[in-house]
Structure 1
Amino acid sequence: VSIGGTDPMGLSAPLVDELARLHNVEVRVTRGISDDLNPELEAAISRSDEIVTGISGDVAPSLAWADFAVLGAGTALWEAAHVGLPMIAVTVAQNQIRTSAAAYEAGFAIVVDARSLRISDIVEAVRRLHTDGGRRRTMGLRGTGLVDGRGVERIWSGIERLCASTPLSTPAIGFRPPDETDRERLFGWRNDPTVSRHLFGSVPIPRPDHDRWFDEIGSDRNRHCWVVT
């Protein structure tokens, strides 16, 4: 179960409580950034420790462990599809509608719109998929048939072609890691209304939160951020 980096509707805790009532179901919860200080989720896990195995901050082991997943309908859907994991996609925001619809049309996801349905509807979808091994296998095969995991290579190849086709008289396209001169620029860009209205959360980011994020991207070896110049 992973409702995404944020859980704006507070679904994780009540969903864990309801899933704990199912028989022969073991649940692993992948923590989102909003769950770090979520007492309701911690309490739900402690109430069902025989069923919920714990919280993992690393998505990959959870995807490999699971028979299927309940995921927020963001980019995680494509990651799960690549490894052949069938899923129930939970739509929690307007910007997830097209993604979840595409996943449903491709046949590798069941979609539940949490904005208009109840927790019990998600649980019922889990119960049905849990008892239908044939459907899970079909969904998994459709996912791996669609997503090959080579998107980064394609993007990089496109950038290389763009660079190669740039006239010599045009300034070269360059890439560099962000430096201190970018701190203020990125802060202004993120909070610009014309940009933030397209993001999951349109509320302005406080300066201390931005500074903490900016410092982290420079020290975390597992995160790569590049500035195109």
Structure 2
Amino acid sequence: MLRVDASPRMGTGHFMRCLTLADALARRGAKCVFLSCGLPNHLGQLLQSRGHELFRLPMRDGDSTDAVLAHSDWLGTTQQADAEDSLAALGAQTWDWLVVDHYALDHCWEAKLRQVAHKILVIDDLADREHDCDLLLDQNLYHDMLSRYDAKVPQACRRLLGPRFALLRDEFREARASLRPRDQEVKRVLVFFGGVDERNFTGQALAALVAVGRKGFEVDVVLGALHPQREAIEALCLAEKFQCHVQTTRMAELMANADLAIGAGGGATWERCCLGLVTLALSTADNQRKQLEDAAAQGLVYALPPASHLSEQLAFHLQALLENCGLRKMISSVSLKAVDGLGAQRVAACMGCTGISVRLANAQDSQALHRWRNHPSIRMVSRDTREIAWEDHSRWFEAVLEDQGRLVLIGEYEGEPVGVVRFDLDAKGHAEVSIYLVPEGNSRCRGGDLLQSAEDWVVRHRGDIQLLHAYVKGFNKRSNGLFVAAGYEVDNTRFSKKLHEL
């Protein structure tokens, strides 16, 4: 269940990132229902075309609001009334997860919905209120992101912070596969300021482009269907021979084809970074200002400070970017490294929705385990790199099956084995975990998903295991990254140095 709204005032970004998460969850077998108030019809139709349900909350015109949060008036009523409407719409059914993405809701509303949700994920960018949640996602990059939510979430809440968790549609990850850092002459410019753009930043950006002159590049302009100046912008695009795209489904393609973008902060920042698209970025809302300042400090965007004569400032900074190939290449390179497009999969895995089922290995798995373990790619990263004889493996595996302190789990995706996770338990309730994906197995499965599924199995079936640790070889950067991303902490480091004989 996902509680999110969209409107000309709040834009469509919250809705679109929730839709991206819902699509990722649905592909892994989850049923997703949206709970919304006043959602525009075209967004409701988009939801249902993706196979999700929509429960509409009643509009409470004229209601007073709480006035205790910076965005309380976005709700159109009190949190108490909205919670009652939500519970009434949901009925007696309980849900595995409630996802909340709304600046006007905090721990008061979330606590009331606990009666129908086993766990709660909050998506936030502001860190300006308290939450009652099990997971918190802030996909933006801030210099103080590790401490922003201190004292604002429960101690046991897991925080998913930074653009590694950016909720991007699959087409962005797919489009980046063939892209390199932008180091060529600018031949195509993309202008996009979100699905609503109530203050018409698009028009001011186009005025700057006209002032700069074409200089040999093409221009793509993207508008939402409800843009307040749609007709005027379409007329200008026709006169200037700009390509105008209204409510397009080709954003990833347009970004991949562009060499430079002019746009807003928010979620589109991470879409552009995923594709290495250099952006002259403007904060079109107060909550975007710090996001863009901190992202610019990390070299991810070229952020334009607030200005009274915006078109003139845009033209000045646009000219600077057009003339500085080295700066564009640097921004493009840093962006590509910061965002890989796998954020939705990571969040879904953290919610325990991996699409992978886990079972205990049995005697019939012995031959397959022996074959996988002896594969060169697995032996290379194992503690013991020698090939294991069948007789030795058989004795070891028979002992494992009889030992309650040793677990071998096999992960399966769509009925096919995709990986192996082993837990070796000691007397203190600590277990060493080792993991590998089946060589030449299903390429859609990620190690993080397998590890999460195995950990969930341990929590359900082995309450005696309290602490996990892992041994990873120093050169194995992929496994090191896997465990760090899964929330493991480095507790010691072992160095080795071989001395040549004199």
Match in the other structure for 2:227: 35
Shift of 1:118: 1.4
Shift of 1:23: 3.7
Matches within 5 A, 1:19-34: 19-21=209-211, 22-24=213-215, 25-34=217-226
Give the Cα–Cα distance (whole angstroms) in 2 for the partners of residues 16 and 4 of structure 1.
15
Match in the other structure for 2:286: 94
Q: CA RMSD in A?
A: 2.4
Match in the other structure for 1:75: 267
Give the Cα–Cα distance (whole angstroms) in 1 for the partners of residues 321 and 193 of structure 2.
18
Correspondent of 1:157 among 338, 341, 349 = 349
Deviations 1:116-142, CA, capped at 9 Å, x for gaps? 551111122111111111111110000
Match in the other structure for 2:322: 130
Deviations 1:174-207, CA, capped at 9 Å, x for gaps? xxxxxxxxxxxxxxxxxxxxxxxxxxxxxxxxxx
Name the amino acid aligned to 1:32. G
Give the Cα–Cα distance (whole angstroms) in 2 for the partners of residues 116 and 102 of structure 1.
22
Q: Which moved more, 1:60-69 or 1:112-121?
A: 112-121
Correspondent of 2:208 among 18, 21, 24 = 18
Structure 2 SS opposite 1:89: strand
Structure 2 SS opposite 1:85: coil
**Between Structure 1 and Structure 2, which shows a larger proportion of strand residues?**
2
Larger relative contact order (Cα-Cα within 8 Å, sequence gap ≥ 6): 1
Match in the other structure for 1:66: 258
Deviations 1:29-80, CA, capped at 9 Å, x for gaps? 112243286122112212211xx13326121121011111111111111111
Answering whether residue 197 of structure 2 is matched by residue 44 of structure 1, we say no
Name the amino acid aligned to 2:287. N
Give the Cα–Cα distance (whole angstroms) in 2 for the partners of residues 32 and 166 of structure 1.
45
Gaps of 5+ in 1: 169-229
Give the Cα–Cα distance (whole angstroms) in 2 for the partners of residues 112 and 105 of structure 1.
12
Correspondent of 1:5 among 184, 195, 198 = 195
Match in the other structure for 1:197: none
Q: Which moved more, 1:37-46 or 1:143-152?
A: 37-46
Match in the other structure for 2:424: none
Correspondent of 2:301 among 104, 109, 124 = 109
Give the Cα–Cα distance (whole angstroms) in 1 for the partners of residues 318 and 290 of structure 2.
22
Name the amino acid aligned to 2:199. M
Give the Cα–Cα distance (whole angstroms) in 2 for the partners of residues 119 and 48 of structure 1.
17
Shift of 1:114: 4.7
Answering whether residue 338 of structure 2 is matched by residue 146 of structure 1, we say yes
Match in the other structure for 2:379: none
Structure 1 SS opposite 2:226: helix
Correspondent of 2:245 among 52, 55, 63 = 55
Structure 1 SS opposite 2:259: coil
| 2:301–2:331 CA contact under 8 A, matched in 1 | yes
Give the Cα–Cα distance (whole angstroms) in 2 for the partners of residues 61 and 155 of structure 1.
24
Structure 2 SS opposite 1:35: coil
Structure 1 SS opposite 2:232: helix
**Between Structure 1 and Structure 2, which shows a larger proportion of helix residues?**
1
Match in the other structure for 1:206: none
Matches within 5 A, 1:211-222: none
Tell me the TM-score normalized by structure 1: 0.65
Shift of 1:9: 1.5
Give the Cα–Cα distance (whole angstroms) in 2 for the partners of residues 82 and 124 of structure 1.
26
Tell me the TM-score normalized by structure 2: 0.31
Give the Cα–Cα distance (whole angstroms) in 2 for the partners of residues 94 and 68 of structure 1.
24
Q: Which moved more, 1:95-104 or 1:144-153?
A: 95-104
Give the Cα–Cα distance (whole angstroms) in 2 for the partners of residues 90 and 114 of structure 1.
8
| 2:204–2:310 CA contact under 8 A, matched in 1 | no
Name the amino acid aligned to 2:338. L
Give the Cα–Cα distance (whole angstroms) in 1 for the partners of residues 223 and 207 of structure 2.
16
Gaps of 5+ in 2: 1-190, 353-451, 462-502
- Structure possessing the higher radius of gyration over alpha carbons: 2
Deviations 1:139-197, CA, capped at 9 Å, x for gaps? 000001111111112111211159927769xxxxxxxxxxxxxxxxxxxxxxxxxxxxx
Structure 2 SS opposite 1:122: helix
Aligned residues: 166
Give the Cα–Cα distance (whole angstroms) in 2 for the partners of residues 83 and 151 of structure 1.
14
Name the amino acid aligned to 1:118. L
